[in-house]
Homo-oligomer: A and B are copies of this chain.
Amino acid sequence: MQSIESEAKIAQEYLARIAKDAEAKFDEHLPPVKDRPCRLHEAMRYSMFAGGKRLRPGLAKATFDMFGGKGEKIWLATSALEMLHTFSLIHDDLPCVDNDDYRRGKLTSHKKFGEATAVMAGDALCIHAFEMMGKTGNAKAIELLAHLLGTYGMIGGEMTDIECEGKTVDLEIVDYIHYHKTAALIEASLLVGAMLAKASEKDMEIIRNYGRSIGLAFQIVDDILDIVSTTEELGKDAGSDIEKGKATYPSIVGLEKSRERARELYEESIKALDGLTCDTSILRSIAAYIITRVK
């Protein structure tokens, strides 16, 4: 049995490797800056290439390979997933939403290109993602992805997050926000990879449970890092959750209990994988990475 730290290291190396391939595909799939409207294409690329862990592409590629998926179509999905994640960040950073000036150590889209362009760049990335997904030929995967992105998924979580700012909320609401705003797209990434590899319904259900656990753990760790890290370490404003009166895990149960909950979720995610007969080692490593990451 490996230590959780060495497990995490395996995942980190895996994600870095996939990120490199995925990024080469982003470049291929994003419209070139020379095409009209040039500045919009520049804004889309600026945010897509602002760095980031490329976790969602990594998750989709992991389940695709795990279930024996073959061919190039997975790269359409990895581009689509990162475009959707980036779209959500651009719109979340807008002055009327979270009003953030920095993201991944760079100026946010609206700070760099102006608000109108930032709104349109987010819209364009969202639409372009569905064009990529259309090219996979899998309409079922599109339905599932859109469902987990929409008001019963990511957008629902973001909206509730905004509505609860500065309000006293209970753990049920924080769980709702975290699950929807973060875990839903993580779950979707895993499921899209599995679907494109034609995984069975039963296996999809297992992946769904694993995804929910690591997704929620991911956001709890995010909340913790917002408190214990510096802005430099994070590449975005540290301490901004408290400043904005955001509903977070530590604000309700404290840092120690938040850490315990993340650890529990990690164990639940590993247990969920028990039902699979294929090699799940990479998903176990990713779960370890998610709860030990420092940025």
Residues of A within 8 A of B (CB): 31, 35-37, 39-41, 44, 87, 91, 94, 96-97, 114-117, 119-120, 122-124, 126-128, 130-131, 133-147, 149-152, 155-156, 158-160, 162-163, 176
Contacts and interface: CB of A to CB of B under 8 A. Distances in A.
Given A36-B160, A91-B123, 4 more contacts: A37-B151, A40-B156, A134-B142, A134-B143
Contact of A149 (B41, B91, B127, B159): B127
Nearest to A153: B127
A223 to B, nearest CB: 20
Given A119-B91, A119-B96, A126-B126, A36 B146 contact: no
Specify how many copies of this chain sit in the oligomer.
2
Enumerate the 6 nearest inter-chain pairs by beta-carbon distance, A residue then B residue, closest first: A134-B143, A96-B115, A131-B146, A134-B142, A37-B159, A127-B150
Nearest to A162: B116
B126 A40 contact: no
Contacts of A124: 150-151, 155
